[in-house]
Structure 1
Amino acid sequence: MTDQLAKPKRVRRRVKPLAANVAKRIDGRTREARMLKQLRDELIAHVGGKPSVPERILIDTAARLQWHIALMDQKLIINGNEMNPLDARRYTAWCNALGRALMRLGLKSPAERGPDLASYLAQKAASSGTAS
């Protein structure tokens, strides 16, 4: 009789972060996933084809930020109305963060930057070896 009067046991559900849910929805076949892959590929080509670990992190961050900005642009075009203050702050923050990430990656292509240290030293050693 006391079992019927007892309160039911509360079941606690684990709350998942938003990023986990978003990552599940982007499975490689969607337009958004293709856009992210294209952005990553273009940024990898921009840094010379084989990015270091920090460059890869910056590339992934920049691609995700550009994806968020594109979704916000699409939302504005479809709705045809103005941004609310929260969306305006998010949009501005994402644009600024994207600009900083791209600045860290470098605006010049590898050909415009000149040789890296290893290739410069190899070129220097080759030119001094032929001169003597």
Structure 2
Amino acid sequence: MTAPEQPGGPSAQPGASPGQSGGAPRRSGLRNPERAVRGLGAGTLVLEALVLVLAIQPIRVVGGGLSGAAVAAVLALAVAAVLLAGLMRRPWAWHAGTVLQGLLMLAGLLHWSLLVLGIVFALVWAYALHVRRVILG
């Protein structure tokens, strides 16, 4: 007596993941995966903008030495993040969001805490890009 064949066993298509039959598109279980991914990207950018704006005063008080140029850079990056959040329907907005993370890390030249925030949000953005790739393929 042979054991029942498991999904993804010998009869499965090469390269297909477990539970998939040959050539069938991968389903995420979401009604509108593109919209869900756009929401993830927009939410990430809005959260980043909020954290940037709220971080100005604590950085000035605790970190000391936050110059006017650094405050202006933080505000400009926060505005850019909000604008990009509204433009997530455009395919290039994902690339622009990646550039925004690089600019925030570059702002670390103005104050070390901006580099820390840049690294944290670059990791969050990388995770959002990973989720986008997994869901949309």
TM-score class, shorter-chain normalisation, is 0.3 to 0.5
Give the helix-richer structure, 1 or 2.
1
